[in-house]
């Protein structure tokens, strides 16, 4: 079987739970290589997408492929090509680290001892320690080291730093970014932490209501969103008439407009509405994504 151009490919993918569509006609194609961040509000379909892709639950309709294989037909060899780290970092608490590593060595034919040592070296983890004696950050690092030592073609990280303190988050990100094993595989990074996404991701994928809402480089998405501050007398224009409006706030007598896909003509629009002063400001990825997701879209009706 020839190698697919995409590590993840879905066509009209739908997954229904009761009367709710968790995935609603998702068309997604993520190419090989680089770090791809998948973000979205709670209920956007991220967790369901991973469960379908990894073969844990079948789709209701449509198709889902991972590494060129139908997600409903994954073999143990297929799963060996996929590394997975989630927010739980679940390993048996009573088992010693050295025993976990021995077990993983036996399970994965392409085990890379150098990759394991490279990542675990960022953490003070001793072979004789039991998993239950490790801090949450150390467990996260151990899970990442085990996943990368598999020599995976695809590494899926689902909220891997959730619950970690600032120091542990930094250690996790640095051990990921500077790992030669991570550089050789495709990484799917799912997180609500936009500062992490901004630091590590090459590609940004935004899901909304189980559909693809946007995909581009993070800096390209940020360039589409601008923040305008205007001194507008009275109430200003009606929100429904403001082009590209994502958010409107009134602070200290000034109107703050977060807008999508507007150029300098938006300033002319505000001046035409009576604005006495207008200033355009850049936005962070966190502000851009949250403004985009907070836009008042009507939720899809239940079937």
Q: Are residues 138 and 260 in the same domain?
A: no
**pLDDT in the model for residue 43:** 86
Q: Are residues 139 and 273 in the same domain?
A: no
Nearest 10 degrees: Cα torsion 76, 80, 84, 89 = 80
CATH assignment at residue 47: 3.40.50.300
Contact 134, 113 (CB under 8 A): no
> Measuring CA to CA, which residue among 113, 167, 169, 175 is closest to residue 144?
175
Q: In the chain, how many domains are there?
A: 2
Q: What angle do CA 141, 87, 172 make, to 5 degrees?
A: 30
Mean pLDDT for each 10-residue chunk of the chain (303 residues)? Answer: 81 95 96 95 90 94 96 93 88 93 93 94 94 94 96 94 91 91 93 90 95 95 95 87 94 93 95 94 92 66 42
Residue 300 belongs to a domain: no
**pLDDT in the model for residue 300:** 44
**pLDDT in the model for residue 90:** 80
Q: Are residues 127 and 204 in the same domain?
A: yes
**pLDDT in the model for residue 86:** 85
- pTM (2 d.p.): 0.89
Q: Are residues 139 and 233 in the same domain?
A: no
d(CA 267, CA 229): 10
**pLDDT in the model for residue 234:** 80
d(CA 233, CA 203): 41
**pLDDT in the model for residue 173:** 93
By residue range, what is the domain housing residue 271?
A: 221-294
d(CA 89, CA 246): 36
Q: Are residues 140 and 285 in the same domain?
A: no
């Amino acid at each position: 079987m020839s190698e697919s151009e995409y590590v993840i490919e879905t066509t009209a993918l739908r997954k229904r739970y009761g009367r709710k569509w968790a995935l609603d006609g998702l068309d997604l194609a993520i190419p090989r290589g680089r770090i791809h961040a998948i973000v979205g509000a709670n209920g956007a379909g991220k967790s369901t997408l991973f469960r379908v892709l990894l073969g844990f639950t079948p789709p209701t309709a449509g198709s889902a492929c991972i590494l060129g294989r139908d997600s409903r037909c994954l073999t143990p060899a297929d799963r060996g090509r996929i590394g997975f780290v989630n927010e739980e970092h679940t390993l048996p608490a009573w088992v010693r680290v050295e025993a976990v590593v021995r077990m993983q060595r036996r399970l994965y034919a392409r085990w890379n001892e150098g990759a394991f040592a490279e990542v675990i070296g960022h953490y003070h983890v001793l072979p004789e320690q039991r998993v239950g004696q490790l801090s949450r950050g150390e467990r996260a690092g151990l899970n990442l080291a085990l996943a990368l030592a598999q020599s995976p073609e695809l590494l899926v990280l689902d909220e891997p730093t959730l619950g970690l303190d600032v120091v542990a988050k930094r250690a996790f990100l640095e051990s990921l970014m500077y790992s030669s094993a991570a550089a050789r595989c495709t990484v799917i990074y799912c997180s609500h932490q936009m500062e992490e996404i901004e630091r590590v991701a090459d590609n940004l994928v935004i899901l909304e209501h189980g559909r693809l809402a946007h995909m581009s480089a993070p800096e390209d998405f940020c360039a589409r969103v601008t923040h305008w501050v205007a001194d507008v007398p009275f109430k200003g224009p009606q929100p429904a008439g403001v082009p590209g409006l994502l958010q409107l706030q009134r602070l200290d007598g000034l109107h703050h407009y977060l807008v999508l896909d507007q150029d300098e003509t938006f300033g002319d629009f505000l001046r035409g509405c009576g604005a006495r002063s207008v200033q355009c400001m850049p936005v962070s990825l966190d502000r851009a994504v949250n403004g985009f997701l907070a836009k008042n879209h009507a939720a899809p009706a239940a079937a």
